[in-house]
């Protein structure tokens, strides 16, 4: 076993996965009351910098919420960091939840503070590998690589939908998969930091409270150097509350390449989801191609992010069917209101404070009617 006082070393940022059948997808999460996330974030960055697509689900997850996330994301590896001495209780539940949700084949790895005397118990429960303090980043990358196998059609239910989406991104969606355009597809775009992900999370919660299902496709940028990606939007959603009523899929994108999105939407609709939100990267004014794939586009803006000249520039504001003024408790709201009214031509303007859930009901009604 590696000595715990041996330092981990950073990896050079290069693509270590180009030779694999597909980019590895790893869901990283923390279960229970463990609030330590610095280490898992360092691992997420190292994996991304090696060409891996990393879905970070955040702190305080339950075994079921992690299993739902890994299934919906069609993860090759579900990696869980444990620092709270609850591994003997939570990890077996995680393995069982993954099997119950149709992904008994998924590799489950556990790292953190795991006593040596508990290792065999964890392995017997179904864990593939245990990582102790001091494990090198290279070993983590190599272990992820070893889990990647060619994708085939092999699941049922939502697990089958998740796999079909993966195959669609490779240009080979299953011919027999049911396809149907969802009733309403909303594009959510706007500048980075405007609060799009938090808004989507609040809409998801409100939808579930109304007894409605919702699907979300969230795009994050792909590294132009390694092809890796850090997909972190789903961590805003409380899957302990929404459970399986919300299907959430994170995807990496280069530029505005939405070529496979129409087919992905048809697969989601074929699985029974009538309402879909597509969240864009949020690259700025030139992110307009999303309009070609959705029924309605909501542009999220924040007070203090530009003057009237910025509002008049052609581009992202022109594609809006609805403006969402998020963080409406910020200074500059009145000025933004005036400038938007001048620019919007009668299009709806909804004011929200996503972190508090304010305006969510009105926004949901405006988007989906």
pLDDT tens-digit series, residues 42-55: 999 999 999 999 99
Looking at the fold, whether 334 and 203 belong to one and the same domain comes out as yes
CATH number of the domain bearing residue 301: 3.40.50.300
DSSP letters spanning 164-220: HHHHHHTT---TTS-----SEEEEEEESTTS-HHHHHHHHHHHHHHTT--EEEEEEE
Looking at the fold, whether 33 and 135 belong to one and the same domain comes out as yes
The pLDDT tens digits of the residues spanning 277-295 come to 999 997 655 567 888 999 9
Name the nearest CA neighbour of 17 among 135, 109, 122, 147.
147
Q: What is the average pLDDT across 247-253?
A: 97
Share of the chain above pLDDT 70, in %: 93
pLDDT value at position 6? Answer: 45
Three-state SS annotation for 304-350: CCCCHHHHHCCCHHHHCCEEEECCCCCCCHHHHHHHHHHHHCCCCEE
Domain count, the chain: 2
Average pLDDT, the chain: 91
Residue 60 backbone dihedrals phi, psi, to 5 degrees = 60, 40
All residues at 6 or more sequence positions from 141 whose CB lies less than 8 Å from its CB, including other chains: 11, 16, 46, 47, 50, 52
Is 5 inside a domain boundary?
Answer: no
Name the nearest CA neighbour of 136 among 5, 10, 1, 50.
10
How much is the pTM? 0.93
Return the higher-pLDDT residue of 316 and 279: 279
Domain that holds residue 58: 25-146
Q: Is 257 helix (H, G, I), strand (E, B) or coil?
A: coil
Identify the helix (H) or strand (E) that includes residue 115.
none
Question: Residue 311's pLDDT band (boundaries 50, 70, 90)?
Answer: low
Question: Residue 4's pLDDT band (boundaries 50, 70, 90)?
Answer: very low
Looking at the fold, whether 247 and 353 belong to one and the same domain comes out as yes
Q: What is the average pLDDT across 13-20?
A: 97
pLDDT value at position 9? Answer: 60
CATH number of the domain bearing residue 96: 3.40.50.280
pLDDT value at position 339? Answer: 87
pLDDT value at position 264? Answer: 98
Please, are residues 316 and 287 in contact by the beta-carbon 8 Å criterion? yes
Looking at the fold, whether 337 and 215 belong to one and the same domain comes out as yes
**pLDDT for 140 beyond 70:** yes
Is 139 inside a domain boundary?
Answer: yes
All residues at 6 or more sequence positions from 144 whose CB lies less than 8 Å from its CB, including other chains: 24, 26, 47, 52, 76, 77
The pLDDT tens digits of the residues spanning 167-190 come to 999 999 999 999 999 999 999 998
**pLDDT for 323 beyond 50:** yes
The pLDDT tens digits of the residues spanning 75-96 come to 999 999 988 889 999 999 999 9
**pLDDT for 127 beyond 60:** yes
Is 315 inside a domain boundary?
Answer: yes
The pLDDT tens digits of the residues spanning 97-107 come to 999 999 999 99
pLDDT value at position 355? Answer: 95
Is 362 inside a domain boundary?
Answer: yes
Is 94 inside a domain boundary?
Answer: yes
Q: Quick one: residue 97, left, alpha or beta (phi over 0 = left, psi -120 to 50 = alpha)?
A: alpha
Question: Residue 306's pLDDT band (boundaries 50, 70, 90)?
Answer: low
């Amino acid at each position: 076993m590696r000595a715990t006082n041996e330092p981990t070393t950073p990896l050079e940022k290069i693509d270590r996965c180009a030779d694999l059948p597909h980019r590895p997808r790893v869901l990283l999460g923390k279960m229970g009351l463990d609030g330590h996330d610095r280490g898992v974030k360092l691992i997420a960055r190292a994996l991304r910098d090696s060409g891996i697509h990393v879905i970070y689900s955040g702190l305080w997850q339950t075994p079921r919420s992690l299993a739902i996330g890994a299934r919906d994301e069609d993860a090759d590896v579900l990696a869980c960091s444990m620092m709270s001495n609850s591994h003997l209780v939570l990890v077996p539940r995680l393995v069982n939840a993954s099997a119950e949700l149709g992904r008994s084949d998924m590799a489950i790895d556990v790292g953190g503070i795991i006593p040596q005397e508990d290792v065999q118990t964890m392995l017997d429960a179904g864990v593939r590998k245990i990582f102790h303090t001091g494990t090198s980043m290279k070993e983590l990358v190599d272990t992820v690589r070893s889990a990647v196998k060619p994708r085939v059609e092999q699941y049922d239910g939502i697990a089958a939908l998740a796999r079909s989406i993966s195959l669609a991104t490779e240009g080979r969606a299953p011919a027999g998969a049911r396809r149907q355009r969802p009733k309403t597809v909303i594009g959510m775009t706007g500048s980075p930091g405007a609060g799009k992900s938090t808004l989507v999370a609040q809409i998801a919660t409100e939808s579930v409270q109304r007894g409605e299902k919702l699907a979300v496709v969230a795009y994050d940028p792909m590294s132009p150097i390694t092809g890796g990606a850090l997909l972190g939007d789903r961590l805003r959603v409380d899957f302990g509350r929404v459970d399986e009523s919300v299907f959430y899929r994170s995807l990496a994108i280069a530029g505005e390449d939405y070529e496979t999105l129409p087919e992905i939407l048809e697969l989601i609709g074929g699985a029974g989801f009538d309402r879909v939100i597509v969240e864009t990267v949020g690259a700025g004014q030139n992110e307009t191609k999303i309009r070609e794939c959705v029924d309605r586009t909501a542009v999220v803006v924040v007070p203090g992010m530009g003057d009237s000249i910025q509002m008049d520039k052609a581009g992202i504001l022109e594609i809006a069917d609805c403006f969402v003024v998020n963080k409406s408790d910020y200074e500059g709201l009145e000025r933004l209101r005036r400038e938007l009214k001048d620019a919007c031509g009668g299009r709806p303007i909804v004011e929200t404070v996503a972190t508090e859930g304010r305006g969510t009901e009105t926004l949901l009604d405006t988007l989906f009617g």
